[in-house]
Amino acid sequence: PHAGPVESKNEAAMSELVPEPRQKPVVPMKPMGINANLLGYIGIDTIIEQMRKKTMKTGFDFNIMVVGQSGLGKSTLVNTLFKSQVSRKSSGWNREEKIPKTVEIKAIGHVIEEGGVKMKLTVIDTPGFGDQINNENCWEPIEKYINEQYEKFLKEEVNIARKKRIPDTRVHCCLYFISPTGHSLRPLDLEFMKHLSKVVNIIPVIAKADTMTLEEKTEFKQRVRKELEVNGIEFYPQKEFDEDLEDKTENDKIRQESMPFAVVGSDKEYQVNGKRVLGRKTPWGIIEVENLTHCEFALLRDFVIRTHLQDLKEVTHNIHYETYRAKRLNDNGGLPPMTAETEENHESNL
């Protein structure tokens, strides 16, 4: 007697579940005749090795920008990150030097090699950012620089006879240095990240974290995360760009626990328990840069270089550059505006 209602319930449940798969995109069916049991070795697995050889020959480009007030250790941190003198070492301000009136942008290029892998690293420094009394719109030169690199790439891409490998000067990663006040973000920090989070991958970093106690550091990190969320500022890795569940799980952990990385930079070595370590010497001991109990530098390095470097490049190309490109081509009816030089090139190509 109870079978009727149960069956009707099951039917109702089934009818609710049936329409769902139809809404999903159609996935092509697997070919029925092919299975994994091949009769002999073909060599499909060597494609990975072929790709590796090809990319090893061409090498890699990686462009990292550092932004923040003077004295937060931007140059030192980048030198620590790549374990070499890749960023200009500022000797501090002296009376003969003038503080730059506006933000100056300096790009320094290096070729770093490790294990046979060559990487052309460009460090883009921004001296003068946030150092004035009136810092109104001081992010504009930085935004202009980032867009100029997209424009350069776009112009090369739309050429009729374009290069086989377009030089990549686009900014893949922007480390934004937050002053370790322990209170909250300054309006300048919020304005900068609000304007530039849409055009570049921003990774917020709390500089000189050894000036705060452990409790202050934890509290400050939580407060920064909350302020970024309240102001709708998306930092890298952005939630909407997670490709699958594994990426989402890994990136959620980074977003909720690690960000912003509280770091200490140093390019000086000291002897600790018979080992040479990078660190900062204080009257009460040595702060080891690569020791996770002392600071989160090792987490930042692993994140930027060992796990997410390729993803930073892909998000720059597929999201930020594509957004710029679509807007630029829409505004100009499909092509960048013709200058006298490009018109001559165009005619000669024709």
Alpha carbons 246 and 339: distance in angstroms, whole number? 47
Pairing type for strands 60-67 and 173-178 reads parallel
Give residue 29's pLDDT band: very low, low, confident or very high (50, 70, 90): low
Residue 345 lies in a domain: no
Among 126-130, 134-138, 171-175, 243-247, the range of highest mean pLDDT: 171-175
Number of domains comprising the chain: 1
Residue 74 lies in a domain: yes
Contact 262, 209 (CB under 8 A): yes
Residue 269 lies in a domain: no
Q: From residue 345, how far is each of 158, 168, 336 by CA, in Å?
A: 12, 22, 14
* Model confidence at 259: pLDDT above 90: no
Q: How far is CA 283 from the centre of its chain?
A: 36
Q: What is the pLDDT of residues 186-232, one digit of tens each?
A: 888 898 888 888 899 999 999 888 888 888 888 888 999 899 889 98
pLDDT mean across residues, the chain: 78
Alpha carbons 15 and 241: distance in angstroms, whole number? 33
pTM here is: 0.77
Residue 124 lies in a domain: yes
Alpha carbons 168 and 122: distance in angstroms, whole number? 10
Range of the domain at 327: 58-263+292-332
CATH code, domain with 94? 3.40.50.300
Give mean pLDDT, residues 33-43.
69
Q: Which residues contact 193 (CB under 8 A, 6 or more apart)?
A: 176, 202, 204, 228, 231, 233, 235
Residue 334's pLDDT is 59
Give mean pLDDT, residues 159-169.
84
Residue 51 lies in a domain: no
Residue 16's pLDDT is 47
Q: What is the pLDDT of residues 104-130, one digit of tens each?
A: 888 888 888 888 888 888 888 888 788
Residue 136 lies in a domain: yes
Residue 349 lies in a domain: no
Percent of the chain with pLDDT over 70: 79
Among 16-25, 28-37, 101-110, the range of highest mean pLDDT: 101-110
Residue 210 lies in a domain: yes
Q: What is the pLDDT of residues 272-314, one digit of tens each?
A: 888 888 778 888 888 877 777 788 888 888 888 888 888 899 9
